[in-house]
Amino acid sequence: MHEIKDIIPDVLNQAGLDKGIEENKALMLWDDIIPTMASKTQAISLSGGKMVVNVTDSVILHALNIYKRRYIYKLNLLLGKPVVKEIVFRIGPVDKRSVRSESDDDYLEKFRHIQLDEGQLRKIDEIVSLVKDEEIQNELRELFINQSKLSKIREENR
């Protein structure tokens, strides 16, 4: 019998969710990488190894560009794999409350109403069926459905 800690990485990989999880981890780690500038920066997105970080002004932008390689190294070291290949700093809004422009209530309402198509649900069910424990299987199914919904919202907001 396999242990859950051994199964989850394979299941996430088969679902195509492992990359998105690593990218989200990198975004969440940004403030830890640069704590002295955290209030003046905000990691906005990460896709294809390219992280976009908004900064409050050109002085901060210039200062961060000097140490860009160091930040990439630290992020990848914390993640344990080369997820971030490039960081692009740009002057833009820094809102530590929320990355979205819409209110949290609107976002949650939108999330609740997103429907996955039959193919997506079938793929999720196929993947979680590899797990024998029914309770864990149900938790993983819910996790994958929620991650798929979040991915749909992000695609719509691009």
Q: Which of 76, 98, 120 is the last residue of a domain?
A: 98
Query: Does residue 92 surpass a pLDDT of 70?
Result: yes
Query: Does residue 101 surpass a pLDDT of 50?
Result: no
State whether 133 and 85 are in the same domain. Answer: no
Could you tell me if residue 84 is left (phi over 0), alpha (psi between -120 and 50 degrees) or otherwise beta? beta
State whether 139 and 62 are in the same domain. Answer: no
Q: pLDDT exceeding 70 applies to what percent of the chain?
A: 76
**Better-scored residue on pLDDT, 20 or 34:** 34
In this prediction, residues 51-60 reach a mean pLDDT of 95
State whether 56 and 93 are in the same domain. Answer: yes
In this prediction, residues 67-74 reach a mean pLDDT of 95
Rounded to two decimals, what is the model's pTM?
A: 0.55
Find the domain containing 35 and state its range: 1-98
State whether 92 and 143 are in the same domain. Answer: no
Q: Per-residue pLDDT tens for 42-54? A: 999 998 899 999 9
How does strand 50-55 pair with strand 41-47? antiparallel
Q: Are 147 and 17 in contact (CB under 8 A)?
A: yes
In this prediction, residues 83-108 reach a mean pLDDT of 75
The rounded radius of gyration (Å) of the Cα atoms in the chain is 18
**Better-scored residue on pLDDT, 132 or 70:** 70
In this prediction, residues 78-82 reach a mean pLDDT of 88
Output the pLDDT for position 2. 62
DSSP state, residue 99:
S
CA distance 138 to 46: 29
The residue assigned the tokens 């088969």 is: 14
Query: Rounded mean pLDDT of the chain?
Result: 81
State whether 74 and 28 are in the same domain. Answer: yes
Q: pLDDT exceeding 90 applies to what percent of the chain?
A: 34
Residue type, 22: E
* Cβ neighbours, 10 Å, residue 24: 13
State whether 85 and 105 are in the same domain. Answer: no
Cα dihedral: 95, 101, 103, 109 (round 10)? -130
**Better-scored residue on pLDDT, 102 or 95:** 95
